[in-house]
Amino acid sequence: MIASLELDRRIERAGRALAYLAINVPIAILGALSVVALVLGAALSIAVIGLPLLIGAAAACRWLVRVDRRAANRFLDLHIPPIAAAPPRSAAGGPWRRSLAILSDRGLLRIVTLLATKPLVIAVLVGVGLVPVVLMAVLILLGVQGVGSVGGVDYFGPWSLGVGTGLVLLALALPAAVLVVATFDALHVVLSTIGRSLLAPRSPDSGPVREMLAESLGDSSVAIAYWLPDRETFVDEAGHPIELPQPGSGRAWTAVERDGRRVAAIVHDAALDTSSELVQAAAAASSLAIDNERLKADLRARVAELRVSRQRIVEAADEARRRIERDLHDGAQQQLLAVALELRVLRSRVNGDDTVALVDGLAQRLDVALGELRELARGIHPALLTQSGLGPAIGSLVERSPAPAQAEVTVDERLPAPIESAAYFVVAEALTNVARYAQAERADVEVRRDGDELLVLVADDGVGGVDVGSGSGLRGLQDRLAAVDGTLRIDSPHDGGTRLEARIPWPA
């Protein structure tokens, strides 16, 4: 009779609901404060103070929901997977734009809605839960007073509060306790329903294998982590590294192996762990498909890594060039200028034509050396490009070109440094080649925006017949352009004329 009431289970569930409610009281209060701070921050974001407030409040909101989710997983057995972290945001733009970027995050809006409704929901549920608790407490208190004949209450209703009445009241505390358990047991169901509908993330976008697994396992939150053996990490479908869930987090994972080697892990609801044969069977059945997907994920991860490392190399090289240019300018060039000045002083002091002629000769050679040094510094990294941008830098390049050339640069805005240097060096290298080999009458340089690309065009009317593989200069250019996702096309027929065309994606 008692066993069929399943009292243990009910009391345990009631206790869990109580614990979850207790944790949710501070969460509800802090959540309301955070939402108020967020709204204030958004309203004040025209002033300087708004943005930090907004960022802080958004972080607080996320943290609270994370705590709430963990509590729901721990106490309500909801197995809710983590809500995706906020996408990384660029630090560019004014405070308004950044505030808008933060506020337009749909994940954050869900979190804010959740936190804004929480105080009311929790207040109502706590109120409902308190009624039987207070009744039971009063009954026990009065019962003890009656039995022990202590305390200040003389009568309970028509009866004087003696031992008999006390015993009756204590006996009535038992049904009150049943009501307490029943109320919190019911609250468990209510809280689970609310938590499941509000906290669970929308199903992540994913490949066909995931869909198939989700369907066959009956767990829509299934995710696949692909194992990359050479880097010993798990990555998701897009190749981003991910962490496997810790035990006790409400999520569990099952390894997928193929021919004895680890291929992937299926991340799933911890409740499925009890039927791990099912997961194992699903894993075995899908291991080939998963291995294929793994290779794709591996490839994507490698490509992403390669891009980043190439960009790093070019940026490091540019940085080194800039430093050498600065050192030349501040060191050797200043020294030589000082020597030239002293020579001029010396010339006014010496007598005798021979000596004067000697000093003049020295001064002339010093001038040439200085000029060569400047040219060298410019070739390493043009200070003008860093300071004034593409237009002036290419203009100066054309002016100094030995071959007659003219430039038309219609890009006024500043672009990221790697793109600017790539465009600059394309023009510099092309003009050098024109002067050295082309025997051209004239060369035309054109730099403009073409759709969502930066177009750099250098054309001459020289002899043509350029071999791309021959010089290290052109290959260097290709590497440099590749680092910024650019392409280089050289059109150089043997019957004359060379056309060099570089295209670089316009930065978003």
Asked if 38 and 57 count as a contact pair (C-beta separation under 8 A), the reply is yes
Judged by CB under 8 A, the stretch of 26-34, 86-94, 178-186, 416-424 that binds other proteins is 178-186
Interaction between residue 10 and other proteins (CB under 8 A)? yes
Interaction between residue 6 and other proteins (CB under 8 A)? yes
Asked if 213 and 222 count as a contact pair (C-beta separation under 8 A), the reply is yes
For other proteins, the closer CB: 156 or 437: 156
For other proteins, the closer CB: 127 or 469: 127
CA pair distance 256, 223, nearest whole angstrom: 13
Interaction between residue 46 and other proteins (CB under 8 A)? no
CB of 178 to other proteins, least distance (A): 4
CB of 50 to other proteins, least distance (A): 36
Interaction between residue 155 and other proteins (CB under 8 A)? yes
Nearest to residue 66, comparing CAs of 52, 88, 84? Answer: 84
Interaction between residue 176 and other proteins (CB under 8 A)? yes
Residue 482: helix, strand or coil by DSSP?
A: helix
Judged by CB under 8 A, the stretch of 168-176, 221-229, 235-243, 252-260 that binds other proteins is 168-176
Residue 477: helix, strand or coil by DSSP?
A: helix
CA pair distance 113, 476, nearest whole angstrom: 54
What residues does 160 pair with on adjacent strands? 155
For other proteins, the closer CB: 177 or 463: 177
CA pair distance 161, 182, nearest whole angstrom: 29
Element (H, E) at 54: helix 50-76
* Torsion angle of C-alpha atoms 60, 64, 65, 69, degrees rounded to 10: 150
CB of 156 to other proteins, least distance (A): 5
Q: Report the residue from 182, 303, 308, 468 that binds other proteins according to the rule CB under 8 A.
A: 182
Residues 106-145 binding other proteins (CB under 8 A) are: 132, 135, 139, 142
Judged by CB under 8 A, the stretch of 97-105, 155-163, 274-282, 314-322 that binds other proteins is 155-163
Interaction between residue 1 and other proteins (CB under 8 A)? yes
Interaction between residue 152 and other proteins (CB under 8 A)? yes
CA pair distance 41, 35, nearest whole angstrom: 10
For other proteins, the closer CB: 22 or 153: 153
Q: Report the residue from 32, 101, 172, 271 that binds other proteins according to the rule CB under 8 A.
A: 172
For other proteins, the closer CB: 180 or 438: 180
For other proteins, the closer CB: 6 or 367: 6
Distances 479 to 120, 307, 308, 391 between C-alpha atoms, Å: 61, 12, 14, 23
CB of 88 to other proteins, least distance (A): 49
Judged by CB under 8 A, the stretch of 2-10, 69-77, 439-447, 495-503 that binds other proteins is 2-10
Nearest to residue 343, comparing CAs of 326, 360, 365? Answer: 360
Q: Report the residue from 154, 353, 452, 495 that binds other proteins according to the rule CB under 8 A.
A: 154
| Three-state secondary structure string covering 115-171 | HHHHHHHHHHHHHHHHHHHHHHHHHHHHHHHHHHCCCCCCEECCEECCHHHHHHHHH
Size of the site for other proteins (CB under 8 A): 23
CA pair distance 268, 219, nearest whole angstrom: 7
Q: Is the dihedral of CA 305, 307, 308, 312 positive or negative?
A: positive
Q: Report the residue from 157, 208, 451, 469 that binds other proteins according to the rule CB under 8 A.
A: 157
CB of 169 to other proteins, least distance (A): 10
CB of 161 to other proteins, least distance (A): 8
Instruction: At 172, list the tokens.
Output: 């009535």
Residue 92: helix, strand or coil by DSSP?
A: coil
Interaction between residue 153 and other proteins (CB under 8 A)? yes
CA pair distance 418, 405, nearest whole angstrom: 25
CB of 174 to other proteins, least distance (A): 8
For other proteins, the closer CB: 139 or 430: 139
3-state helix, strand, coil in the chain (%, to 5): 65, 15, 25
Judged by CB under 8 A, the stretch of 149-157, 220-228, 415-423, 439-447 that binds other proteins is 149-157
Residue 304: helix, strand or coil by DSSP?
A: helix
Judged by CB under 8 A, the stretch of 97-105, 167-175, 205-213, 322-330 that binds other proteins is 167-175
For other proteins, the closer CB: 153 or 337: 153
Instruction: At 8, list the tokens.
Output: 């243990």
Judged by CB under 8 A, the stretch of 3-11, 188-196, 281-289, 404-412 that binds other proteins is 3-11
Residues in contact with other proteins by the rule CB under 8 A: 1, 4-6, 10, 132, 135, 139, 142, 152-158, 172, 174-176, 178-179, 182
